[in-house]
């Protein structure tokens, strides 16, 4: 039986944070930060990672407003998720990403990471948190 990984994505205008699970789908780890040069380029790049790592589910962060409503950013993320799902054939789940960037920053600060370095890491740490949330929620299913 072939093992599958899960993928977490923190989608941003400038950078896309990507995280992958281990083969047992217990631990999420930061994978990379990819510069966002447009949806088509991003989708092709992510699809390549999906194929290389045998990803069978994607957790994509959904930026909700603090009251839980969806704004313009959420619409952009839903559109990207739909296109990614169509292109890759892999199911995309949307995960509330409120506060993940702040949580990622807190983790990096408490780890003693300097400000300049934090900017490089924050997106993939946020993707890791999105993926970890997704996997923990799946366990309860």
Mean pLDDT of the chain: 92
Contact residues for 73 (Cβ-Cβ < 8 A; gap 6+): 63
66 vs 20, which has greater pLDDT? 20
Its domain, for residue 61, covers 5-139
Written as six digits, the tokens of 16 are 């896309």
Res. 40: pLDDT tops 60: yes
- CATH number of the domain bearing residue 126: 3.30.420.140
Q: Is the pTM of this model over 0.85?
A: yes
Written as six digits, the tokens of 53 are 């790592």
Res. 37: pLDDT tops 90: yes
Give the mean model confidence (pLDDT) for residues 28-54.
Answer: 97
Give the mean model confidence (pLDDT) for residues 8-37.
Answer: 96
The secondary structure of residue 68, as a DSSP letter, is S
Question: What tens digit of pLDDT does each residue of 60-91 get?
Answer: 999 998 898 999 999 999 999 999 999 999 99
Contact between 131 and 10 (Cβ < 8 Å):
no
62, 64, 66, 70 alpha-carbon torsion, rounded to 10°:
-170
Q: Could you tell me the pLDDT band of residue 1, with boundaries at 50, 70 and 90?
A: low
User: b vs e for 47-78, b when ≥16 Cβ sit within 10 Å of the residue's Cβ?
Assistant: bebbeebebbbbbbbbbbeeeeeeeebbeebe
Total structural domains within the chain: 1
């Amino acid at each position: 039986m072939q093992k599958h990984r899960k993928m977490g994505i923190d989608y941003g205008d400038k950078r896309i944070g990507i995280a992958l699970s281990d083969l047992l789908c217990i631990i999420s780890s930061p994978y990379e930060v990819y510069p966002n040069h447009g949806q088509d380029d991003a989708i092709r790049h992510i699809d390549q990672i999906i194929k290389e790592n045998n990803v069978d589910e994607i957790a994509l962060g959904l930026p909700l407003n603090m009251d839980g409503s969806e704004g313009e950013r959420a619409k952009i993320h839903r559109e990207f998720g739909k296109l990614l799902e169509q292109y890759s054939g892999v199911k995309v789940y949307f995960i509330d990403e409120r506060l993940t960037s702040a949580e990622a920053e807190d983790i990096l600060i408490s780890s003693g990471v300097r400000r300049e370095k934090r900017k490089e890491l924050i997106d993939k740490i946020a993707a890791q948190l999105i993926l970890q949330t997704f996997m923990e929620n799946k366990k309860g299913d």
